[in-house]
Amino acid sequence: MADAATGRERFSDLRRSLPEQLPAYLGRQRWFGGKARTIRAVELSDVVPVPMQGDEQGALLLIVTVAYSEGTGERYAMPMLRIASPTAPITGMDALRVDASPAGNAVVLVDALKNEAFLTALLDLIQRQASVPGEKGQLCASQTSAYEGLAAVQSRSGLKPKPVGAEQSNTSIIYGDRLILKFFRRVEEGINPDLEIGAFLTEKASFASTPQVAGSLTYLAREGTESAQGILQAFVPNQGDAWSYTLKSLADFYVAVGKGPADGAVPSQEKRAAFVASYAEEFLKSAALLGQRTAEMHLALASDAKDPAFAPEPFTMEFQRALEHSTQGLSGRVFAQLREKISGLPLDQQERAKRVSTQEAEITRRFKEALREPIRATRTRIHGDYHLGQVLYSGSDFVIIDFEGEPARTLAERRIKRSPLQDVAGMLRSFHYAAFAPLLTAAEVDSDSGKNAGSLGAWAESWNASVADRFLASYFQVAGSAAYLPASREETRILLELHLLEKAVYELGYELNNRPTWVGIPLEGIARLLSI
């Protein structure tokens, strides 16, 4: 493929050479989400050349569409660096080989997101707010009003790119200590909530506890559909996520618990609560701060009554019936799986699993009862996948990230306005997970504490109850009389418990399918909510 080849010739070469190689190539990539499915075909949908300063070969953004034997297809973005007629073997990189057309030479393609010049080129596109045409669409770059302040450095070397850690579903690149670009590997048509909400919180709500959005990359197809390709945000120095911070605090807590009576006797609930209040006071202050930031986020998301995408809307019986249908469908699927898999669960969880498996009718009744009467509150945009892993800890404060919503939902579903109490429930369930996660490795904990897993369970419950109370007290104090909260405390309790139960049932399904050894945590959560 000669440098002078036309775009049409280039696309023809790639279309001829790549489809046969792509199924195996995709299967080797960590970011590819279809490994458990059978690929029927892979189509090269578009090729967008990305100019790189000082490199005549440049790079190509390949848009590929994957069709599966069952279910809907997916679309992925693959930035590839062109290496013409390599004289040495390509080592340490997974490559695609493009057959030569009569007009040129063979070419090898390797992942461009590992190349500094290409990463610089992506930032340069946003700097110039440029559009790059492809065969069937174009890559468009844009800025927000925050870009100039965030990107201001004395020299371009101050924005040197560096990929962040191992690749997952997205790839992140830090530019100096100022900016971070989240590049989406899987691209979906429609408005991306992470970009939409991030831009709203940056430019309209001025919410300080989330990274400011500086710019974006969007793939615009010829027929007019668009897909978010990347989000450029302020880089926030941090000490890790709130999940890691919480587990570290809990590790110290369980060591302190282990220094109790030599006979291992479990103190009364009142004494355990007093110990938590005393020993874990610093973390309880952190929980209160996180409750404050969470309420501030929800107030910001509900702050613009004129923007149709964010204006609060009342609950309707139609919405409540749809929510009831969704929760009952979830319960039916998960409890069918539970009954089928009980015998394969860890022995110490089988009895509890049997007990919970008989409660499907009761759960269905509770969902129906909670949604029977009109909910006197408004629905707003929410985070949608809120837990300790979606919050960064700076050492003194919290920064909320990743507004993409639940990955299993479509983009349209993630943009539906819901009760902010769904986010609150997600964080409460995350605290519960954190409290009990160390007990999954009880032998290691016991070596320090001298306690058995049963006594630690009582301490975990006390820690969780104290943290949840502190988080909720702070949240409701800051939220005040926000219209998105139901009109009475009792109605608020009912709606929050609905979302807690819904989340715990969802978690049970996830653990049954992915981590059966963790199934005890959602089982315990469901049992506690049902008081069984």
Task: Name the band, by pLDDT with cuts 50, 70 and 90, for residue 369.
Answer: very high
Q: 260 with 385, same domain?
A: yes
* Cα distance between residue 300 and residue 206, in whole Å: 8
Residue 36 maps to a domain? yes
Average pLDDT of every residue of the chain: 90
Residue 42 — φ and ψ, nearest 5°? -125, 125
Mean pLDDT to the nearest integer, 507-531: 95
Q: Which residues have C-beta within 8 Å of that of residue 345, sequence separation ≥ 6?
A: 353, 516, 519
* Surface-to-core class of residue 153, CB atoms within 10 Å of its CB (0-12 exposed, 13-18 middle, 19+ buried): middle
For residues 420 and 520, membership in a common domain is answered with yes
72 and 173 both lie in a single domain: no
72 & 217 share domain: no
Indicate whether this model's pTM tops 0.85. yes
Q: Using alpha carbons only, how large is the chain's radius of gyration in Å?
A: 26
**What per-residue confidence (pLDDT) applies to 163?**
87
Supply 523's token pair. 């089982």
pLDDT of amino acid 440: 83
- The 3-state secondary structure of 126-163, one letter per residue: HHHCCEEECCCEEEEEEECCCHHHHHCCCCHHHHCEEE
Q: What is the pLDDT of residues 293-315, one digit of tens each?
A: 999 999 999 999 999 999 999 99
**Within a domain: 322:** yes
pLDDT band, residue 262 (cuts 50/70/90): low
Q: How far is CA 122 from CA 52, 148, 173, in A?
A: 9, 16, 10
* Residue 356 in domain: yes
Would you place residue 107 in the very low, low, confident or very high pLDDT band (cuts 50, 70, 90)? confident
For residue 80, pLDDT over 80 is answered with yes
248 & 224 share domain? no
* Weakest mean pLDDT among 20-34, 76-90, 123-137, 333-347: 76-90
Q: Is position 259 within any domain?
A: yes
Counting the structural domains of the chain, the total is 3
Which of 234, 266, 291 is the C-terminal boundary of a domain? 234
Q: Are residues 375 and 445 in the same domain?
A: yes
Q: Would you give the DSSP letter of residue 99? A: P
Of 211, 234, 257, which closes a domain?
Answer: 234
Look at residue 97 in the predicted model and tell me its pLDDT: 84
* CATH number (domain holding residue 399): 3.90.1200.10
Same domain, 143 and 50: no
CA distances from 248 to 140, 266, 386, 441, 447 (A): 43, 23, 20, 15, 17
388 and 494 inside one domain:
yes
- Is-contact 100 106, C-beta < 8 A? yes
pLDDT of residue 93: 54
Domain end marker among 179, 210, 234: 234
* Residue 2, in any domain of the structure: no
Domain range for 18 is 7-112
Q: Which pLDDT tens digit goes with each residue over 488-513? A: 999 999 999 999 999 999 999 999 99
Whether residue 306 is found in the same domain as residue 438: yes
Residues 431, 498: one domain?
yes
> Does the pLDDT of residue 92 top 50, yes or no?
no
Residues 370 and 475 in one domain: yes
- In this structure, are 265 and 148 located in the same domain? no
Do the Cβ atoms of 457 and 446 come closer than 8 Å? no
Domain assignment of residue 367, yes or no = yes
For residues 269 and 158, what is the distance between their CA atoms, to the nearest angstrom? 55
Q: Which of 31-35, 125-129, 255-259 is the most confident on average?
A: 125-129
